Structure 1
Amino acid sequence: MGRPRGFDEDQVVRSAVELFSRRSYDGTSVDDMVTHLGVHRGSMYKTFGNKRGLYLAALRRHIDQDVAALAEVTSRGAPPDAVERVLADGHGLGLLFLAMVERAPVDSEVAEETSRALRILDDATDAQKRTALALGLLLRARATAAVSV
């Protein structure tokens, strides 16, 4: 019988969402993951296979939790301040943005996941144009926030 896992897998994946949202896939080294997540390299590889495996787990969680939360609020026709509250509660779309730009063009699984996220948002808004506009506004706000800091 093997040793019991010494870490909370869900917590590691949540932390990986934050890490990849800030640094991107290519900007995050395995050493960064070990340091930030507090998981031994061997345990990480045993659980997730490799860096990409952890990234995919984080991206799926991000879509299932964060994108879905935003879609839920949007589908109810909530006012903009309700959407802002959802984003402020930690349901940002940073990882989705980075995945669409950085990894989707070169990784078919990431492309499938980002397409799934866009479908979730399209279904919530009932129109691709609304999703595109909303994502554009969120991306612009993210870019200008970094400048004003």
Structure 2
Amino acid sequence: MGRPRGFDETEVVRSAAELFAQRSYDGISIDDLVTRLGLHRNSLYKTFGSKRGLYLSALRWSLEHDVAPLIDRMSDAADTPDGLREALDTAVSGSGLDLLLLAAVEQAPVDGEVAGLVGNAFAALDAALAPAGHPGGADTPPTPIVALTALLLGSRIRIRSTGSQTTRTADELRAALVQHLAPRP
């Protein structure tokens, strides 16, 4: 019988998701992971198989715990403008989309499994923003909905990349987007 694990796998995956959301996949070494996660190298390999295995676990965790709740809130909104306001609020203010965004630009182009996870998340975001009963159903969102999803994700990229984490900047961007995309009647 093997020795019991000396670490909480869920906590390691959650912490890895935070780390991968902050820095690029290639910018994080195994030594960084071992040091930051408090995990022995052998435990990392035995549990996850590789850095990629841990990354995929972290990405799945982020999609389930960060992105899915946002999608659920958007889907549950009474109408698309309310859903859009909720999404903009989260995208501009929070970091829950950061690992998805990094995965989309750096790993999805070179890793089919990551591309599938990212594509499914984007499709779910599109479906959450699509008006109920639009022609084509959730499988073919109308072009304006795809554009709104891109704008939502681009808003988070803009805030993250410029270091503009100030409340004033985030509030101004959110207000401008809501005013033009989802004005209150």
* Residue aligned with 1:92, SS: coil
1:132 pairs with 150, 159, 167, which one? 150
Rounded to whole Å, the distance in 2 between the matches of 1:86 and 1:146 is 13
- Pair 102,79 (structure 1): closer, same or farther in 2 beyond 3 Å: closer
- Per the TM alignment, residue 145 of structure 1 is displaced from its structure 2 partner at its CA by 2.4
Residue 182 of structure 2: aligned partner:
none
Segments of structure 1 that go 5 or more residues without pairing to the other structure are none
Rounded to whole Å, the distance in 1 between the matches of 2:54 and 2:35 is 15
* Contact 1:103 1:110 (C-alpha < 8 Å) held by counterparts: yes
* Contact 1:67 1:93 (C-alpha < 8 Å) held by counterparts: yes
Segments of structure 2 that go 5 or more residues without pairing to the other structure are 131-144, 167-185
* Residue aligned with 1:52, SS: helix
Residue 24 of structure 2: aligned partner:
24
- Per the TM alignment, residue 87 of structure 1 is displaced from its structure 2 partner at its CA by 7.2
Residue 175 of structure 2: aligned partner:
none
Rounded to whole Å, the distance in 1 between the matches of 2:46 and 2:18 is 21
Residue 55 of structure 1: aligned partner:
55
Query: 1:65 is aligned with what amino acid?
Result: H
Q: Which stretch of the first structure deviates more once superposed, 72-81 or 28-37?
A: 72-81
Instruction: State the percentage of identical aligned residues.
Output: 54
- Per the TM alignment, residue 78 of structure 1 is displaced from its structure 2 partner at its CA by 4.2
Q: CA RMSD in A?
A: 2.2
1:96 pairs with 92, 97, 100, which one? 100
- 1:80 equivalenced with 2:85 (yes/no): yes
Structure 1 runs of 4+ aligned residues shifted over 6 Å read none
Residue 183 of structure 2: aligned partner:
none
Query: 1:140 is aligned with what amino acid?
Result: R
- 1:108 equivalenced with 2:126 (yes/no): no
- Pair 101,79 (structure 1): closer, same or farther in 2 beyond 3 Å: closer
Cα displacement string for residues 15-70 of structure 1 (whole angstroms, at most 9, x for unaligned residues): 00011111111000000000000010001100000000000000111111111121
* Contact 1:73 1:83 (C-alpha < 8 Å) held by counterparts: no
Rounded to whole Å, the distance in 2 between the matches of 1:131 and 1:56 is 23
Cα displacement string for residues 52-103 of structure 1 (whole angstroms, at most 9, x for unaligned residues): 0000000111111111121122221347367536875x65211111111111
